[in-house]
Amino acid sequence: MTNTAWDTYSKQKPERRPTNAAGETTWFNWTQYADHGPGAEVLGIRPGATVLDLGCGKGGNLAHVAALDARAVGVDVSLAQLKAAESRWVDAGMVLHRTDAVWFLTESGEHFDAIYSVFGAAWFTDPTELLPAIRERLRPGGVLAFSQRPAIEGCYGCQASYINRSEDEDPLVVKRWDYEPERWVEILHQHGFTAATARVLPAPPGQRTIGTLLVRAHG
Ligand SMILES: C[S@@+](CC[C@H](N)C(=O)[O-])C[C@H]1O[C@@H](n2cnc3c(N)ncnc32)[C@H](O)[C@@H]1O
């Protein structure tokens, strides 16, 4: 049912704007807010690097990675999301795979200089399955980074997320994994990653208060 859920989500999610506030046609956004937070420098991408997006969605961040002259590989379980990515970023040179993140990491023979996920598969996959698979594919010293909404206090581990449909239909359910920043650091070190950091970026000034959890580590 997960594919159906994410295809449903895809219909509700608007496309990225043509340009950001700086007038750029590609950019990296780790947060749920426009023109907010750090950019692709978190990943330390050099030209020629191989970079993997887990749950690339409509491909906005991956198109920016490709524009940095990296080999930009994206995986996503949703055909609707990937079709949107292909049609918007037709000339970007991204390599897209419709598959589950753990399956791709386990079955593909490719190694990566950076692996990232923005509110993507890293949030919606059991870390005890995902992190060992990432370790296999991340080059030594490579960067793993992912962002997601911070945990709600007291709600840790596997949580349910609802994707709403029409008023006559039950919402669809996907699972996500939430932990406090210090727990993410422990989990990453337990799985052999080094120099792990995790912090909550504050929301931009305004009415919204929920920040963004940004987690980073080395392979
Ligand atoms: C909330 S969207 C975020 C998409 C994109 N990263 C962005 O920032 O717009 C989550 C994405 O992760 C994908 N996804 C969820 N679980 C996945 C999995 N196990 N393997 C691959 N993709 C997955 C969904 O299909 C969806 O496109």
Instruction: For residue 209, give the CATH number of its domain.
Output: 3.40.50.150
Residue 159: pLDDT over 50: yes
Asked if residue 113 is part of any domain, the answer here is yes
Task: Give the SS3 label for residue 207.
Answer: coil
DSSP state of 205: S
C-beta of residue 177 within 8 angstroms of C-beta of residue 158: yes
Asked if residue 185 is part of any domain, the answer here is yes
- Interval 150-169 mean pLDDT: 96
Decide whether any atom of ligand 1 lies within 6 Å of the 31 Cβ.
no
| Tokens found for residue 91 | 């000339």
| Tokens found for residue 163 | 């994707």
Distance (angstroms) between ligand 1 centre and the Cα of 76 equals 6
Asked if residue 164 is part of any domain, the answer here is no
**Ligand 1, atom 10, residue with closest C-alpha:** 120
Domain holding 41, by residue range, is 2-150+179-218
Please give the pLDDT value at position 4.
Answer: 85
Strands 157-163 and 172-178: antiparallel
Residue 45: pLDDT over 70: yes
pLDDT in tens, 85-132: 999 999 999 999 999 999 999 999 999 999 999 999 999 999 999 999
Residue 76: pLDDT over 60: yes
Decide whether any atom of ligand 1 lies within 6 Å of the 59 Cβ.
no
Greatest Cα pair distance, the chain, in angstroms, is: 50
Give me the percent of the chain exceeding a pLDDT of 70. Answer: 99
87 Cβ contact list (under 8 Å, min separation 6): none
Decide whether any atom of ligand 1 lies within 6 Å of the 84 Cβ.
no
Residue 68: pLDDT over 80: yes
pLDDT in tens, 207-219: 899 999 999 999 9
**Ligand 1, atom 5, residue with closest C-alpha:** 57
Decide whether any atom of ligand 1 lies within 6 Å of the 26 Cβ.
no
Please give the pLDDT value at position 3.
Answer: 64
Distance, in Å, from the CA atom of 216 to the CA atom of 203, rounded to the nearest integer, reads 19
Residue 157 banded pLDDT, cuts 50, 70, 90:
very high
Distance (angstroms) between ligand 1 centre and the Cα of 56 equals 6
Residue 2 banded pLDDT, cuts 50, 70, 90:
low
Tally of domains within the chain: 1
What are the phi and psi torsion angles at 55 (to 5°)? 85, 55
Decide whether any atom of ligand 1 lies within 6 Å of the 147 Cβ.
no
Distance (angstroms) between ligand 1 centre and the Cα of 22 equals 26
Residue 32 banded pLDDT, cuts 50, 70, 90:
very high
Decide whether any atom of ligand 1 lies within 6 Å of the 80 Cβ.
no
Q: What is the mean pLDDT of the chain?
A: 96
Residue 1 banded pLDDT, cuts 50, 70, 90:
very low
Residue owning tokens 């939430």: 178
Helix H or strand E segment including 5 = helix 2-12
Asked if residue 173 is part of any domain, the answer here is no
The β-bridge partners of 16 are: none
Decide whether any atom of ligand 1 lies within 6 Å of the 75 Cβ.
yes
Asked if residue 174 is part of any domain, the answer here is no
Asked if residue 157 is part of any domain, the answer here is no
Asked if residue 138 is part of any domain, the answer here is yes
Per-residue H/E/C for 31-94:
CCCCCCCCCHHHHCCCCCCEEEEECCCCCHHHHHHHHCCCEEEEEECCHHHHHHHHHHCCCCCC
- Interval 30-45 mean pLDDT: 97
The β-bridge partners of 145 are: 116, 216
Closest CA to 56 of 18, 112, 10: 10
Asked if residue 158 is part of any domain, the answer here is no
| Tokens found for residue 24 | 């750029």
